């Protein structure tokens, strides 16, 4: 009895003085091009507030340089990172394949995929890769092709054009090669100046980048009238990746649910930015040419899946099913190459 | 004896009511109000003055030709009131957030402070953006060539550039409610090059580096925007009007460059000790002090729960526990 009392006292002493598991906050390094005044910093700060009630305290650290944010995550300076899917591709290409070229033609399909990833146990397993786990996907807008000459709206017309592409994007060289264009390496910051100065003939960007990079200068360049092809090349996303062991076991599932629930909050910023682009800047692609673009996109995806290994086959299959669910008349629905 | 605010407001309101021509109002505002007001190192008085003047000034002139230059000054100083209020709510939020780990029930209070801060940020953005819009109305599109500016107008133009930058940052922090265009910072960075660094304490150089520091890669080739910000800040400190140091700290805080914020806080503090304020521009030096002071307050509050006890200081990192010394009483001299 006396021994039991002593053990109980010892246990209580340890319980009283041991630091609580939640006492130190986990750090998330977040890339937002607008820093602390950005929409994504605000969204993830709201997320961090809600996780406190789950017993997980998070401190959000803003970065305007995506590469530095990712490097700090790799170096262990933070327990999680928010960066674009393409930047996180090398950790796990399953979630980054959601950004596959031409794979998500509408925000409805994207919303459906984000919800599926939040609820599917099978997907949950694939969202883990070693110590890394993807626990949130935020839409940042469809990437559109900006051309300095608005007469360019078909795949053959891209031949010979200089296209600014992200240095770390594995898909870009394959696409550029397939259409016979010339790749000009760039990063997010230099795409705008290169396009506006005429160093490239085309670039791709989502609508929230239109104003900050002043892309209207490249569209209204004095020589030819440019435009934006209203056909999404790919969906840009920011993804929250964490070091699994630094968070409670059920954190990933709860976090994915939170981001799926807040999908439309983030999308509202994108839709607002798209609505602020003058109607005259858009180029509507005729349906016959849309099929031509889709065919080119499919070829690029298959190469990136089979030869480069940049895309995850299972993700491509589910995306194809979702596209066909939205529009069963698509040619690919019968072919089932993905 | 008239109170200072009444001294400024009464003649202007009278002028605004008596004339429908914007030029005299612009002239009186710049020559009399700015000339006296800039000596006052009291942000509370400046923001009260701006808030009280903006409506009578807007009523002067005609609907299509308000006194734009006077309104740049009025709206920019009026923005200081909600800016200060937003910062207070940010400190409250930071203090409560630090308690979240031990007490998740404070989440509601954190949210309340956060929402209150966002409202004040939006109000500040609205006023600063109006100041920027009046700048464009008075001098033409910012960033598209340089207007001809005399000395007095240069000051108004500078105020317009700072307002544009503040409008964009505050609107972002407020949730984009005001809709300040996201190319405003790029315009400001170009527009600032129209001003003389030697006259305006290198603050034009700091403003022109802001876009490149915020969006990596957008600086002209070979220009390191962070080095440019430091050059501007150091040059400005010797003048006793430390606006460029404050702009550096503000841009760094937004970009999450805490290393730059910390070194900026310490440098600003050292400069205040070494170089007396230029009383000709006491108001702007006080504004600079408030910007840097807020970032220091945030660091102190996150770390220790209270704001900076002295300007230009940072909390010491927690000292490691002292090494365990041999217990002198281990062989108990009072024992048996």
pLDDT band at A186 (very low <50, low <70, confident <90, very high): confident
Nearest to B251 by CA among B213, B205, B278: B213
Low pLDDT (below 70) residues in chain B: 1-25, 28-29, 32-33, 61-64, 318-336
* Domain assignment of residue B153, yes or no: no
**B168 contacts on A by Cβ (under 8 Å):** 37
Q: What is the pLDDT of residue A138?
A: 98
Secondary structure (DSSP) of A86-101: HHHTTT-HHHHGGG-T
Tokens 């403003």 belong to: B207
For chain A positions 178-197, those within 8 Å of chain B (CB to CB) are: 187-190, 192-193
Q: Tell me, yes or no, whether B226 lies in a domain.
A: yes
Whether A47 has a pLDDT exceeding 60, the answer reads: yes
- Which positions in chain A touch B254 (Cβ < 8 Å)? 34-37, 62, 64
- Residue B6 lies inside a defined structural domain of this protein: no
Buried b (16+ CB within 10 A) or exposed e, B185-214: bbbbbbbbebbebeebbbbbbbbbbbbbbb
In a domain, B201, yes or no: yes
Distance (Å) of CA A184 to CA A89, A217, A267: 21, 19, 30
Distance CA A235, CA A218 (A): 22
Cβ-proximal residues to B228 (8 Å cutoff; 6+ apart), any chain: B205, B206, B208, B209, B212, B219
Mean pLDDT along residues A192-211: 92
- Of A277-281, A326-330, B266-270, the one with minimum mean pLDDT is A326-330
Q: What is the mean pLDDT of residues A266-285?
A: 95
State the best of A29, A52, A185 to mutate against chain B, taking most chain B CBs within 10 Å: A52
**What span, in angstroms and rounded, lies between the C-alpha atoms of A184 and A161?**
10
Residue in chain A lying closest to B96 (CA): A49
Predicted local confidence at residue A21, as pLDDT: 35
Mean pLDDT of A206-232: 89
Q: How many domains does chain B have?
A: 1
pLDDT value at position A329?
A: 87
Q: How confident is the model at residue B327, as a pLDDT?
A: 66
CB contacts, 8 Å: B104 with chain A: 52-53, 55
- Per-residue pLDDT of B286-325, as tens digits, reads 999 999 999 999 999 999 999 999 999 999 876 666 666 6
Judged against a pLDDT cut of 80, whether residue A46 lies above it is answered with yes
Does some domain include residue B139?
A: no
Q: Report which of B67, B50, B76 is spatially closest to residue B16, judged by C-alpha positions.
A: B67
CA distances to A74, A306, B59 from A40, in Å: 21, 34, 40
Q: Is residue B223 part of a domain?
A: yes
Span A162-180, pLDDT tens digits: 999 887 788 888 889 888 9
A60 Cβ contact list (under 8 Å, min separation 6): A27, A28, A30, A41, A44, A45, A48
A61 at the B interface (CB within 8 A)? Answer: yes
- The answer to the question of residue B328 being in a domain is no
Q: Which two tokens stand for residue A5?
A: 């009392």
Between strands A26-31 and A202-206, the pairing is unpaired
Pick B255's closest partner by Cβ from A35, A49, A272: A35
Interface membership of A336 toward B (CB under 8 Å) = no
CB contact under 8 A, B254 and A62: yes
pLDDT at A234: 94
- A57–B107 CB contact, under 8 Å: no
What's residue B283's pLDDT? 92
Strands A227-229 and A202-206: unpaired
Q: Is residue B298 part of a domain?
A: yes
Provide the percentage of residues in chain A whose pLDDT is more than 90: 72
Residues of B whose CB is below 8 A from A42 = 173, 175
Separation in Å, CA A95 to CA A118, A279, A319, B42: 12, 33, 12, 54
- The pLDDT, as a whole number, for residue B332 is 63
Number of Cβ within a 10 Å radius of residue A287: 8
What tens digit of pLDDT does each residue of B71-108 get? 999 999 999 999 999 999 999 999 999 888 888 889 99
CA distances from B225 to B180, B191, B206, B231, B251 (A): 23, 16, 9, 10, 11
Joined together, the tokens standing for residue A327 give: 């529009």
User: B216 in contact with A at a CB cutoff of 8 Å?
Assistant: yes
* Torsion sign (Cα): B100, B103, B105, B109: negative
Contact between B218 and A64 using a beta-carbon 8 Å cutoff: no
Q: What is the pLDDT of residue B335?
A: 59
Kindly report the length of chain A: 338
Query: A53 and B176: CB-CB below 8 Å?
Result: no
Question: Looking at residue B307, what is its pLDDT?
Answer: 97
Does residue A2 surpass a pLDDT of 50? no
Which of A229-243, A311-325, B139-153, B316-330 bottoms out in mean pLDDT, i.e. has the lowest?
B316-330
Give the list of residues 6+ apart from residue B61 with CB closer than 8 angstroms, or none.
B19, B20, B21, B22, B25, B67
The answer to whether residue A20 scores a pLDDT higher than 60 is no
Question: Which burial class, exposed, middle or buried, applies to B223 when counting CB atoms under 10 A from its CB (0-12, 13-18, 19+)?
Answer: exposed
Q: Which residues of B touch A64 (CB under 8 A)?
A: 213-216, 254-256
Distance of CA B21 to the CA centre of its chain: 32
* Chain A positions in Cβ-Cβ contact with residue B182 (cut-off 8 Å): 34, 208, 211-212
Residue contact B216–A189, C-beta within 8 A: yes
Query: Which pLDDT tens digit goes with each residue over A292-303?
Result: 899 999 999 999
* Domain hosting residue B233, numbered range: 196-312
pTM of the model: 0.87
Closest CB to B173 among A33, A37, A214? A37
DSSP state of A279: G
Taking residues A113-135, what's their average pLDDT?
96
A282-310: average pLDDT: 91
Q: For residues A1 and A12, what is the distance between their CA atoms, to the nearest angstrom?
A: 16
Q: Is B102 on the interface with A (CB under 8 A)?
A: yes
B219 HSE (CA, 13 A, CB side) = 19
Per CB-CB distance under 8 Å, the chain A contacts of B100 are 49, 52, 57
């Amino acid at each position: 009895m006396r021994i039991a009392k002593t053990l109980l006292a010892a246990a209580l002493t340890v319980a009283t003085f041991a630091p609580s598991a939640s006492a130190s906050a986990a750090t998330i390094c977040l890339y937002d091009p607008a820093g602390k005044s950005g929409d994504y910093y605000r969204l993830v700060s709201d997320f961090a507030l809600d996780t406190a009630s789950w017993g997980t305290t998070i401190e959000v650290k803003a970065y305007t340089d995506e590469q530095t944010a990712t490097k700090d995550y790799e170096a262990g300076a933070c327990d999680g990172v928010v960066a674009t899917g393409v930047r996180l591709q090398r950790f796990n290409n399953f979630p980054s394949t959601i950004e596959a070229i031409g794979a998500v033609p509408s925000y409805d399909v994207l919303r459906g995929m984000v919800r599926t990833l939040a609820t599917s146990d099978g997907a949950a397993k694939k969202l883990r890769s070693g110590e890394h786990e993807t626990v949130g996907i935020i839409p940042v807008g469809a990437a559109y092709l900006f051309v300095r000459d608005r007469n360019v709206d078909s795949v053959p017309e891209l031949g010979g054009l200089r296209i600014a592409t992200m240095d770390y994007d594995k898909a870009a060289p394959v696409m550029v090669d397939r259409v016979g264009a010339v790749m000009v390496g760039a990063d997010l910051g230099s795409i705008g100046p290169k396009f506006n100065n005429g160093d490239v003939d085309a670039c791709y960007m989502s609508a929230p980048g239109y104003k900050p990079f002043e892309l209207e200068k490249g569209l209204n360049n004095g020589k030819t009238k440019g435009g934006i092809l209203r056909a999404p090349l790919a969906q840009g996303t920011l993804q929250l990746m964490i070091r699994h062991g630094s968070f409670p076991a059920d954190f990933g599932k709860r976090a994915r649910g939170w981001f799926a629930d807040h999908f439309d909050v983030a999308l509202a910023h994108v839709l607002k930015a798209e609505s602020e682009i003058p109607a005259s800047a858009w180029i509507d692609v005729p349906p016959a040419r849309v099929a031509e673009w889709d065919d080119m996109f499919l070829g690029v995806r298959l190469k990136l899946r089979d030869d480069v290994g940049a895309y995850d086959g299972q993700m491509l299959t589910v995306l194809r099913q979702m596209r066909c669910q939205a529009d069963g008349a698509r040619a690919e629905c019968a072919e089932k190459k993905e | 004896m008239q109170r200072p605010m009444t001294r400024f407001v009464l003649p202007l309101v009278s002028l605004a009511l008596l004339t429908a021509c914007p030029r005299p109002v612009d002239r009186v505002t710049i020559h009399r109000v700015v000339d006296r007001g800039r000596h006052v190192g009291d942000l509370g008085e400046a923001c009260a003055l701006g808030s009280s003047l903006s409506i009578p000034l807007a009523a002067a002139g005609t609907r299509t030709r308000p006194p734009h230059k006077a309104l740049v000054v009025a709206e920019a100083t009026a923005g200081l009131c909600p800016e200060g209020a937003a910062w207070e709510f940010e400190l409250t939020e930071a203090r409560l957030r630090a308690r979240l780990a031990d007490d998740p029930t404070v989440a509601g209070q954190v949210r309340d402070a956060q929402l209150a801060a966002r409202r004040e940020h939006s109000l500040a953005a609205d006023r600063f953006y109006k100041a920027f819009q009046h700048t464009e109305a008075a001098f033409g599109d910012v960033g598209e060539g340089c207007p001809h500016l005399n000395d007095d107008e240069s000051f108004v133009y500078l105020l317009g550039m700072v307002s544009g930058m503040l409008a964009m940052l505050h609107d972002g922090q407020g949730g984009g409610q005001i809709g300040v265009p996201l190319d405003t910072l790029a315009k400001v960075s170009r527009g600032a090059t129209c001003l003389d660094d030697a006259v305006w304490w290198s603050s034009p150089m700091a403003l022109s580096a802001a876009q490149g520091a915020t969006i990596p890669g957008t600086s002209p080739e070979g220009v390191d925007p962070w080095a440019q910000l430091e050059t501007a800040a150091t040059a400005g400190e010797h003048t006793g009007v430390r606006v460029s140091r404050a702009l550096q700290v503000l841009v760094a805080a937004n970009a999450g460059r805490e290393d730059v914020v910390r070194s900026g806080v310490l440098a600003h503090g050292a400069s205040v000790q070494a170089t007396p304020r230029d009383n000709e521009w006491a108001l702007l030096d006080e504004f600079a002090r408030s910007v840097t002071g807020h970032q220091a307050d945030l660091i102190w509050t996150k770390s220790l729960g209270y704001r900076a006890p002295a300007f230009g200081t940072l909390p010491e990192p927690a000292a490691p526990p002292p090494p365990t010394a041999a217990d002198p009483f281990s062989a108990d001299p009072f024992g048996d």
